[in-house]
Amino acid sequence: MERRRARRRERQADQAAPLAGKPFRHLKNPLAPVEVLSPEQLDRIHNASMTILEEMGIDFLDGEALELWQAAGARVDQKSQHVWPDRELVLELVARAPAEFSLRARNPDHCLHIGANNINFATVGAAPYFSDLEHGRRPGTLANFRTMVKLAQLCGPIHMVEGLMVEPQDVPVALRHVEKGYALLTLSDKVMTTAAHGREAATDYVNMAAIAFGGVDSIRRRPVFASNVNANSPLRFDDRMLGGLITYARHGQPVIVTPFILAGAMSPITMAAAIAQQNAEALAGVALTQLVNPGVPVIYGGFTTNIDMQTGSPAFGTPEGALALFSGAQLARRYGLPYRGSGGLNNSKIADAQAAYETQMSLWPAVLAHANVILHSAGWLEAGLVCSLEKFIIDVEGLAMMHRLLQGIEIDDETLALPSIAAVGPGGHHFGTPHTLARYRDAFYLPIVGDRQNYDNWAENGALDTAQRAHRLAHELLQTYQPPPLDPAVDEELQEYVARKKRDVMRKT
Amino acid sequence: MERRRARRRERQADQAAPLAGKPFRHLKNPLAPVEVLSPEQLDRIHNASMTILEEMGIDFLDGEALELWQAAGARVDQKSQHVWPDRELVLELVARAPAEFSLRARNPDHCLHIGANNINFATVGAAPYFSDLEHGRRPGTLANFRTMVKLAQLCGPIHMVEGLMVEPQDVPVALRHVEKGYALLTLSDKVMTTAAHGREAATDYVNMAAIAFGGVDSIRRRPVFASNVNANSPLRFDDRMLGGLITYARHGQPVIVTPFILAGAMSPITMAAAIAQQNAEALAGVALTQLVNPGVPVIYGGFTTNIDMQTGSPAFGTPEGALALFSGAQLARRYGLPYRGSGGLNNSKIADAQAAYETQMSLWPAVLAHANVILHSAGWLEAGLVCSLEKFIIDVEGLAMMHRLLQGIEIDDETLALPSIAAVGPGGHHFGTPHTLARYRDAFYLPIVGDRQNYDNWAENGALDTAQRAHRLAHELLQTYQPPPLDPAVDEELQEYVARKKRDVMRKT
């Protein structure tokens, strides 16, 4: 019994080894950013978006936002809650935002730098469903959410844990954000993201982060999380999103202003128009953050893709989405803003070939474009409706491969190894050379779920497909989970905060 | 009965529609090539490879090749069949090769341009096994080969048909190349590639192509196929490959000189050394083509990847392979040579997620690096041992998405559609606007096997994974196959050539 357990532990350690060899590491893209728009095209998009703001304007469905715009001298119609900011004002406000900033993590080694050519991978977010091979697809639970936070903590190539990874539908709506916040702040010590669902939830996130990070002043000076704020495209920010944006900006926390555009539905069907509209909406949101708190960090978010005209479904991991992602990065660079893209978008119902190739049609552009924050990098399935355990692990492999790729090639006398080439000579082999023996353990990328056995061995070992191997690895990994250190006083205070919130909510209902 | 058949035909046309909307189209990559080596690094690789040639030299296991080198003034040891060409000679010879050239196809619309930023996708080549979901994995047959040529002909995004797609193991070895040649020249009218398996097979390919393309002089003036020639790395070209190289070069047909390097086995384990050795070998082969026939077109081939140090297997679709691919393209550009990469490499045993993400780790670098000929773009599985029916269709989707991506974004007043944005206004939708209605049919990329149904519809329709959908589509497509027009006299002459070869081989055995 004892021996069997020991063997199992050994096997687990073995299985987890490929990930153990991929610790958390900061990532920069040393390659020149790939640009799909010429400078003239970029100008045309810019000018079109300025015209949209000046002539068509944009809804801000929040009294405080409207007052801020009015005070800044923008043309505002309070009755229709509409603002027509001119380009001078918008660009002046946008220019106040920093080009780069840092996000603090509970573990100082996990702090992140946002901007320039820094690349940060975040998990999937906002999936209502959870799926794994064992139990299939079902509404997400708090247990699922906690499992995913642990996995994100365990996987080195993941930089950020999305605060909405999977919706805990077994928790009352009014309490979900505090339950998620507690899990994020205790089960992981990586940078987290949060949601911008109104002033109350945002305030709770700020308060809980303040408990974990040394107080409200401390997090205002050195921000600790980023929150996605969607425009309700076309040309509208609702009160919920604006409540979040204003609350976070006031407390010094960066928001990611992301127009939610599916071309053909929330914008004209032509990608030029979709991108111009995205730019107008994103800059309007960015400008508002600077009205709230001049100089507060903020991220330009791009999520534009297209509708599938046959099914009416949003289409993800598409060439059009890739072009929008590249274009958005060019625009963000033009304004000196950090950029957010997405890394794992796809429409597949299962973690199969489609899931993988569509994901790559999202990940490659995000990395090549120099997206600084890449949301939905791991775990996304089914147009974002599903957080998949297996897809998460498979995606981590893709991220780890990008980590290796961006390290480039080391070229010096040692690595050129001319004496070794000479010693082996024509027709020989390099298996046993001193040069090889000194390096074979970590010379090459070691796959996580990729299988390189020959056919017979693979078949003998169960002929598992990638998703089945990922399933096994996820469970083996989770066996190794250790919660990161946490001051018990902080834990207690966080628990009290959650308990108080529960009492408040009970009282109200 | 008649009605059922009509319905079936209709359904087939429907299913094939996504491919019907993706006709053959020439492809250019308008983006700046992605470069992973700095100019200084490129110099170091170049210099190291020149040192390899000058100081270590290279085996040419063929009397005619040795004589050509000797006549050109290179230092040659006839006994050890070894050549030490100095850099001046090599670079002078390499400079004779054209930077760009055309390849003729039987259908003039399918002629290809090789070089600059032209991208040409070729099918998988050289797989000994064939697999499909119905019958599994088994040795390839001539019937399999013919099926794959038909599929390649049917799929618009495919530019070139690999002459070795899958090995017809049911045909005597001495006859395989003529059977393949006959299938290629009759079942498809796209540019084909051939093998370089000795003087005799090469001569047969030349003769058969001459029948189909108006004679030996005609194909010498305007080449009609390209042939891969592998170096037997390290530092050796064998008599079989050299027989092919010399025969093709003499007849004006371009070869693709591709060192076969798995770092850690055929070269030192460090990628810098692997790339330097690749460069030495490739340039030596390129130089030889120019000794045979000055000015003959030739392609610099890169196939360098790494060994998996745990299994000893070749590892494909790896970050190291991607870096080698990018580096090779930079080197080829430096010498003004067209470049060959690979587009679908992977180690997976089935057409699953691993197959797809490793393939993308090969395809994206090949396209971004400006590889002019991208071999193995469709159908490759299991480290190249298997040509897979389903993987072929899935890969065609990846290629079609690249086609769309590289078209970029059209930006003008029409596509910026400001009046349409103004007309819909905040919070509206663009589904029924005149701008949408005028464009919805072909505004966006339409997936081939990608499924965008919602979960319930997908489940009701059988919950098929990508490979299952690809299987169905392949068979539906094949139902629509029509052989391209062919002069009956040419067909007869080709048949006679094959029959004569059969009689010759019989007589000898």
Question: Tell me, what's the pLDDT at A342?
Answer: 98
pLDDT at B16: 54
Answer whether A313 sits within 8 Å of B452, measured CB to CB. Answer: yes
Task: For chain A, say whether B133 makes contact (Cβ under 8 Å).
Answer: no
Q: How far is B440 from chain A (nearest CA, A)?
A: 6
Structure tokens, A246: 């204003």
Three-class SS state of B138: strand
Strand order in the sheet with A305-307: A262-263, A305-307, A314-315
Helix, strand or coil for residue B120? strand
Whether the predicted pLDDT of A14 surpasses 80:
no
Rg (C-alpha) for chain A, rounded Å, is 24
Helix (H) and strand (E) counts in chain B = 19, 22
- B355 to chain A: nearest residue by CA? A353
* Residues B29 and A26 sit within 8 Å (Cβ to Cβ): no
pLDDT at A20: 79
pLDDT class of A21 with cuts at 50, 70, 90? confident
Q: pLDDT, tens digit, for every residue of A60-85?
A: 999 999 999 999 999 999 999 999 99
Which string of b and e fits B102-116 if b means at least 16 CB within 10 Å?
bbbbbeeebbbebbe
User: What is the sign, positive or negative, of the torsion defined by CA atoms of A306, A312, A314, A319?
Assistant: negative
Backbone angles phi, psi at A321, to 5 degrees: -60, -40
Q: Are the beta carbons of A354 and B452 closer than 8 angstroms?
A: no
Give the pLDDT confidence of A254-277 residue by residue, as tens digits.
999 999 999 999 999 999 999 999
The stretch A311-339 carries a mean pLDDT of 97
> How many pairs of residues across A and B have Cβ atoms under 8 Å apart?
385
Q: Is A461 on the interface with B (CB under 8 A)?
A: no
Question: In angstroms, rounded to a whole number, what is the distance separating the alpha carbons of residues A421 and A281?
Answer: 58
**C-alpha to C-alpha distance for B88 and B74, rounded to whole angstroms:** 10
Q: Check A59 against B426: CB less than 8 A apart.
A: yes
Residue of B nearest to A277 (CA): B421
What distance lies between CA A125 and its chain's CA centroid?
Answer: 8
Run of H or E including B246: helix B239-250
Helices B271-292, B319-334: crossing angle, 10 deg rounding: 40
What are the CA-CA distances from residue B401 to residues A354, A357, B27, B30, B358 (Å)? 12, 10, 12, 15, 16
Partners of A319 on chain B (C-beta within 8 Å) are 401-402, 404-405, 445
Tokens of B465: 């994974």
pLDDT (mean) for A420-448: 96
What sign does the CA torsion over B246, B247, B249, B253 have?
A: negative
* A483 DSSP assignment: P
% of chain A residues with pLDDT over 70: 97
Q: Residue A147: what residue type? A: T
Long-range contacts of A61-64 (CB under 8 A, 24+ apart): A61/A236, A61/A237, A61/A238, A61/A239, A61/A242, A62/A237, A62/A238, A62/A239, A62/A242, A62/A243, A62/A246, A64/A242, A64/A246
CB contact under 8 A, A272 and B409: yes
Interface contact B35-A36, CB threshold 8 A: no
Chain A residues with CB inside 8 Å of B382's CB?
Answer: 455
Which among A59, A323, A451 has the least Cβ separation from residue B354? A451
CA distance B485 to A338: 56
A505 vs chain B: nearest CA distance in angstroms? 32
Taking residues A206-229, what's their average pLDDT? 98
Task: For residue A109, give the DSSP letter.
Answer: G
A349/B267 Cβ within 8 A = no
A385 vs B contacts (CB less than 8 Å): 455
- Mean pLDDT by runs of 10 across the 509 residues of chain B is 56 61 96 98 98 98 98 98 98 98 98 98 97 98 98 98 96 97 98 94 98 98 97 98 98 98 98 98 98 98 96 96 98 98 98 98 98 98 98 98 98 98 97 96 95 97 98 96 97 98 90
Does residue B44 sit at the A interface (CB-CB below 8 Å)? yes
Pairing of strands A112-114, A101-103: antiparallel
Contacts of A52 in chain B (CB under 8 A): 418, 421
- Cross-strand partners of A75: A84
pLDDT of residue B1: 47
- B328 and B339 in contact (C-beta within 8 Å)? yes
B417 close contact with A: CB closer than 8 A:
yes
How many whole angstroms separate alpha carbon A380 and alpha carbon A383?
8
Closest CB to B45 among A359, A411, A451: A411
Reported confidence tier of residue A347, pLDDT bands at 50, 70, 90: very high
For B386, nearest residue in chain A (alpha carbons): A455
Residue carrying the six token digits 């997620």: B353
Interface of B with A in 162-201 (CB under 8 A): none
Query: Which pLDDT band, with edges at 50, 70 and 90, does A7 fall under?
Result: low
